[in-house]
Amino acid sequence: MTKATNQQRILPILFTGVVFGVILLSMLITGFIIWLLFRAGVLNKLAPPRIGTTILWMLCLSTL
């Protein structure tokens, strides 16, 4: 067996970080857009009356 080089050790960690970073960034952007729509009053008609339910809806939508 050959010894793993530093590049072979670092690349999977780097790739995983990039993938999770892209997923996190897309969730944050989606959540920010949803928050802006709530602030603008666009989604207020669709929002349930309780704030906890609204937060759950925003979390569900941000994962899409």
Domain boundaries, position 10: 6-62
Q: What is the reported pTM?
A: 0.58
20 belongs to a structural domain = yes
How many domains does the structure of the chain reveal? 1
Residue type, 45: K
38 belongs to a structural domain = yes
Q: What is the pLDDT along the chain (64 residues), one digit of tens a residue?
A: 567 787 788 888 999 999 999 998 988 888 888 788 878 877 777 666 666 667 777 777 777 6
> 58: burial class by Cβ within 10 Å (0-12, 13-18, 19+)?
middle
49 belongs to a structural domain = yes
1 belongs to a structural domain = no
18 belongs to a structural domain = yes
